[in-house]
Structure 1
């Protein structure tokens, strides 16, 4: 989820095969029937794309990490960074989607790791993923509450503590998570279309007006601009803008034809997100002038999108942006709540967690009890933040965002290794490109991204250098991974993939 860095600046094929271990080859799959351990749904490509892209929070990206990436990264060359990151994630997706027929579970990351590296590694990945997603779901409430309060104050309402509006959002998210996934999918679709539409209207207004005060920005094509400033820091902001795309496989049991739907949804989500971020960040630079954009973005990181919108679309456009920024945060929370609920459900169906969590709702076919568990954990985190009097943005959100940032990229690296291993351990007729070359390119690049994030982790959690919070992030993730072998020892019957 891309808003993870806003607080860093307190200013605001279906192969036929036989596994080497004797597993049956994956084949075509149709609609999954509901039952113990199975969810019911008929999600198509579009619904999954809506959920996944909403998790990426596109409007939040353009209003948060993009200005920060411009100011503290590589300035006018920042849009090209999105092209680089999109390309790397597409390399990852080549192997990830090609391996889908070999992984029959809806466990996403951990199911792939279990299939490729073994059960202990898979369980460790599952716990690290849960930690990362729960941290992000809870942390974004630290943005949602103040954002909604600020919006309502602009219409004359008195200020209230951030947790009041966070509680309202929490209740709505919990209710939607309990109901049919199609309902959440429709709501996310409407909110996503609205937030993307306003940015596209802004893009069109800037382009058809002949550009900004200096015409059209050329930094996206200029090698000198692309490598200027701190390109590594730019990659940090860009890679975090895509968090959530990898969750397509979580909805396997609720899709019409997972072996076709999951790959399509993954590619479409990545390409849509990448193109949207690249074009819109370039337009934002163009609209404000390339020569002054670094200073402008640094001084006004939290407001540059709103002021740019007012300049080109008028006061009404500025108000719409404010409203949709709040709904974008809500959509992000709802998306990650859906993902976390399905992680709990899937782990329960694999006998890792209590069996009751894998009973779908008899009417809605939803992971209702798993959803309630996710809500309970998030509620505890929010209440703890209130009792400890943490600042909702610079402390609560930033600290939890640091956990998620490192965790998700680390999971991408481990999953890449697992995908390559899956193809080596199973007979198949897939090309070398899909099974080795593309995944290897993605792996090497993702390792580079992970190094960049680790080098900049103290900035994410508001420290000048490695201190208790940045070290704490690494310790928590290490403990989550270490829990895998321990749980695996006591849960010997658990099969994850």
Structure 2
């Protein structure tokens, strides 16, 4: 490369860095709701909690959720301590780069991008299925292919993704408020009516906590906290980030752990500890909706059917926003074309990154449709693939935070947050081993399909590290900017 070319690249990089700043005005509540919407609470209640009860530790499931919340909170302590010293956007990509170096950092950036992109695709698939169910079952309309509705969701999320994050956060706040009201109403109804045979606390006894498969319960429980890093990703788009981000991060973890643990406990009580296992074994799909209908009435049952779609849409919008910001950050660093890292002049949004993401999602969905992948299999496999890749990210970021804080003790008291992160790292390593061992259970994939999916996830991560080595040897100016350095 000529000296003139290097100088030109450096000038582009500096000008891009100076302009590559998103803007927004989200407060604590809006940020919490944006992140929690990514988890799709109604989706978790209707489809996830019964599965966790059946395959995990049964009646002891609420405790498993709480323990996972404690582990994530330990990781959040280190995350926030490190983010105070690294006041830059980029989420896990930036933090892992700072802790483990640019090579691993770029690999993690590619892994995070894949993780959230897969979550986006799974939300489109579930939303298409849910909307079709609403039209057929509630309004007795014609059955339409799921991908038609998924395409409609994609168009709407693309439009919202083009606008400022503050507008999307208001949309997510409305949807999430409805979901929370439904779940709170259900919990209160179960408790007020005394459940099936009176409210009991068997879920919190050692016999039930360690019943069934505690390892599978823990594996499912960790998946409930996906996207909590978004509080850091949106650093440039919140008011008073030094205050808003810590409050929102702890608020997200506490809300998710408390909401899901209480709802799981109420769900178990709605059938009774002695009967719930038999119920989920016989009717896994309808266990939650039937319980809603019995305790909260027909209106709540119909609302839950509708909210399965609205929750999927909120999840898709949140996943789109998070993924677009990863594309934006990789563009700002020069890993992707730098135009992807330029914000909209008026909306201060990652509009080009958002558009590129939408086009890519449309193409991938088109491949799924052409391959005639069964809709139920598609959602299950994508959701499981997301959970697996998310655990990989957590392992990397826990190690990165621990190493960075121990190395950077000169700034103050960092030993305790570092120790908490390293403890979380050990637990998460065990979780990753369990996830690999139980990959078929997570995704429903077997044989060659299972091997291909595992190779794909690890291949993307290793591909990112290989690209970092290439940049180090051939494009030092881009290599030096990896991780928003």
- Structure 1 residue 461 displacement after superposition: 2.4
Aligned equivalent of 2:128: 145
- Structure 1 residue 185 displacement after superposition: 0.1
- Structure 1 residue 105 displacement after superposition: 2.4
Aligned equivalent of 2:436: 454
- Select 1:199's aligned residue among 183, 197, 214: 183
Q: What secondary structure sits across from 1:430 in the alignment?
A: coil
**Runs (5+) with no aligned partner, structure 1:** 1-33
Aligned equivalent of 2:153: 169
Range moving further from structure 2, 366-375 or 137-146: 137-146
Aligned equivalent of 1:476: 456
Equivalent pairs counted in the alignment come to 459
Q: Is the 8 A contact 1:179 1:366 kept in 2?
A: yes
TM-score (norm 2): 0.92
Aligned equivalent of 2:171: 187
Q: What secondary structure sits across from 2:348 in the alignment?
A: coil
Q: Is the 8 A contact 1:110 1:125 kept in 2?
A: yes
CA distance in 2, matches of 1:254, 1:283: 37
Q: Is the 8 A contact 1:148 1:326 kept in 2?
A: yes
Q: Is the 8 A contact 1:142 1:392 kept in 2?
A: yes
TM-score (norm 1): 0.90
CA distance in 1, matches of 2:453, 2:231: 26
- Structure 1 residue 486 displacement after superposition: 3.0
- Structure 1 residue 414 displacement after superposition: 0.6
Q: What secondary structure sits across from 1:272 in the alignment?
A: helix
Q: Is the 8 A contact 1:56 1:245 kept in 2?
A: no
- Select 1:400's aligned residue among 382, 404, 407: 382
Q: What secondary structure sits across from 1:245 in the alignment?
A: coil
Aligned equivalent of 1:371: 354
Aligned equivalent of 1:30: none
- Select 1:85's aligned residue among 65, 68, 77: 68
- Structure 1 residue 64 displacement after superposition: 1.1
**Runs (5+) with no aligned partner, structure 2:** 1-16
- Structure 1 residue 35 displacement after superposition: 5.8
CA distance in 2, matches of 1:76, 1:230: 11
- Structure 1 residue 276 displacement after superposition: 0.2
- Select 2:392's aligned residue among 393, 404, 410: 410
Q: Is the 8 A contact 1:67 1:298 kept in 2?
A: no
- Structure 1 residue 482 displacement after superposition: 1.9
CA distance in 1, matches of 2:143, 2:182: 27
- Select 1:251's aligned residue among 231, 234, 242: 234
- Select 2:401's aligned residue among 409, 419, 422: 419
Q: Is the 8 A contact 1:55 1:333 kept in 2?
A: yes
Q: Is the 8 A contact 2:341 2:350 kept in 1?
A: yes
CA distance in 2, matches of 1:410, 1:485: 15
- Select 2:467's aligned residue among 475, 484, 487: 487
Q: CA RMSD in A?
A: 1.5
CA distance in 2, matches of 1:424, 1:71: 41
Aligned equivalent of 2:283: 300
CA distance in 1, matches of 2:162, 2:74: 35
Aligned equivalent of 1:178: 162
Q: Is the 8 A contact 1:106 1:249 kept in 2?
A: yes
Aligned equivalent of 2:201: 218
**Deviations 1:19-56, CA, capped at 9 Å, x for gaps:** xxxxxxxxxxxxxxx96211111222211111110001
- Structure 1 residue 431 displacement after superposition: 4.4
Q: Is the 8 A contact 1:399 1:469 kept in 2?
A: no
Q: Is the 8 A contact 1:68 1:298 kept in 2?
A: no
CA distance in 1, matches of 2:376, 2:364: 14
CA distance in 1, matches of 2:465, 2:88: 20
Q: Which aligned pairs between 1:63-82 and structure 2 lie closer than 5 A?
A: 63-82=46-65
Range moving further from structure 2, 92-101 or 215-224: 215-224
Range moving further from structure 2, 68-77 or 487-496: 487-496
Q: What secondary structure sits across from 1:104 in the alignment?
A: coil
CA distance in 2, matches of 1:483, 1:165: 34
